[in-house]
Chains A and B, each alone.
Chain A
């Protein structure tokens, strides 16, 4: 039995009597025992059930009052009454209170949103999502403009619909990036189904599917568990320069004019989110370009030497 097995079994109370006695004589056990004893000092404060129950607000007992009146009516009438009220409310709700929740990120910030089932969404700069709190129990459906990272709790089918496609999962971690003519889905864990106008693709962990200017690609990205932008860096692999510049514009709230440049040339590299000058150098130096900053306007040029 490995050491790990022995300790795991001991923790579960599954060691035989003799093995247990032997293990409990070791010095290793003495250290473990001290730690476990110490941990007991951090026990949660006592929870007084009775006084906490009394703390529940007054409106609960008011509600109680209406319930006893309710009890006196015959069951069938009660059922009919509930149905009529429920149907009326649902009707009004659907027609007049079509609420969705829009969360809009300010440029150069991240917004984190927890969906009604505790699924987690992190929005990149300039992106928004929309979802219906009321309908969440029936279907987990999110609309996305832009780019977001999702950590979805296991459960019913979860859909992310953006302009260029729909991503469907059961419970997993993935990123969706949907900007003009650039659609990219990356699966970090679990399985992800990507549905576009052309076809549908199933992604395994550590793989990316993308469509740039109508060209489809599928490749692996080993060793990543979440997108780089969550950690303040934007990474690109063979992406046309125009899209790299678009991301920089969004991230830094600037507008870039390009003169004399092939914006379709492929760029592989990255820029960080905390310094505009360094970010510009990261983009321009590898492809022999120059830049000039005037306020929040940037000019990038290619000057032949």
Chain B
């Protein structure tokens, strides 16, 4: 029988490396998909705890899909336990610099519409769109994360933009 491989997740160094590689992206994914009210930080913790508990059974190259599956499940079950309708919410944008009152009002109204439009997007549209436009993830990276084709990701981003514009722009496109 061959040697036990050196890079197994039960070694703290390897586990730490996996945490450093995937935790932030997983957090962003959960935040954009399920919102600030659903404790994305805690779900990331739970996912990694489960990975550690199962470190003997999960190969390093399978860690990423394990983490995403566990995190999604944990999130969905936590939401089902709360028994409330999924209430996606974003944190309020930062303050603006000094401008005229009319400009500020229009800006505020624009951002309110944009916030509501983002919250109303389907989870799949929103997570794809935000990961690409705000986090700079490439189409292929997102495709891998969500188990889709690159073309499907492209289409989702376009459709999300279209829906957002319809809700946010005051004149018809």
Spell out A's residues near B (CB within 8 Å): 4, 7-8, 11-12, 28, 31-32, 34-36, 38-45, 47, 49, 52-53, 55-57, 60, 63-64, 67, 75-76, 78-79, 82, 112, 114, 116-118, 154
Separation of A117 and B73 alpha carbons in the complex (Å): 7
CB contacts (< 8 Å) of A55 on chain B: these are 45
The one of A38, A44, A60, A78 in contact with B114, judged by C-beta atoms closer than 8 angstroms, is A38
CA distance A41 to B161 in the complex (A): 16
The complex places the Cα of A42 from the Cα of B88 at a distance, in Å, of 13
Contact B24 A8 (CB under 8 A): no
Q: Which of A11, A41, A79, A114 contacts B80 (CB 8 A)?
A: A114
Interchain CB contact under 8 A, B20 and A49: yes
| Alpha-carbon distance A118/B93, docked complex (angstroms) | 32
CB of B84 within 8 Å of the partner chain: no
B76 at the A interface (CB under 8 A)? yes
Collect the chain B residues with CB atoms within 8 Å of residue A41's CB: 93-94, 111
**Chain A residues with CB below 8 A from B36, complex form:** 45
Q: Nearest Cβ distance between residue A49 and chain B, in whole angstroms?
A: 6
Cβ of B16 under 8 Å from chain A: yes
How far, in Å, is B30 (CB) from chain A's closest CB? 9
| Chain B contacts with A in 22-36, Cβ cutoff 8 A | 23-24, 27-28, 31-32, 36
Are B24 and A35 neighbours in the complex by a CB distance under 8 Å? no
Q: B73 CB to closest chain A CB, in angstroms? A: 6
The list of the 9 closest CB pairs from A to B, nearest first, reads A41-B93, A44-B31, A47-B27, A114-B76, A47-B24, A42-B90, A8-B158, A38-B114, A43-B134
Q: Is the CB of B12 within 8 A of A11?
A: no
Q: Are A4 and B158 in contact (CB under 8 A)?
A: yes
User: In the bound complex, do residue B158 and residue A118 qualify as a contact, i.e. CB atoms below 8 Å apart?
Assistant: no
Interface string of B92-120 (1 = CB under 8 A from A): 01100000000000000011001100100
Chain B positions 57-88 with a Cβ under 8 Å from a chain A Cβ: 69, 72-73, 76-77, 80
Flag if A44 contacts B49 (CB, 8 Å): no
Question: Nearest CB to that of A40 among chain B residues?
Answer: B134
* Closest-CB distance, B152 to chain A (whole angstroms): 12
Write out the residue numbers on chain A whose beta carbons fall within 8 Å of the beta carbon of B48: 56
Interchain CA distance A47-B44 in the complex, whole Å: 11
Assess whether A79 is in contact with B133, with CB atoms less than 8 Å apart.
no
Q: Point out the residues of chain A lying under 8 angstroms from B28, CB to CB.
A: 44, 47
Contact: B154 with A11, CB < 8 Å? Answer: yes
Complex Cα gap A39–B114 (Å) = 7
Tell whether, in the assembled complex, residue B4 and residue A78 are in contact, meaning their CB atoms are under 8 Å apart: yes
Min CB–CB distance A131 → chain B (angstroms): 14
Chain A: which residue is nearest B22 at the CB level? A49
Query: Contacting A35 at CB < 8 Å: which of B12, B19, B165?
Result: B165
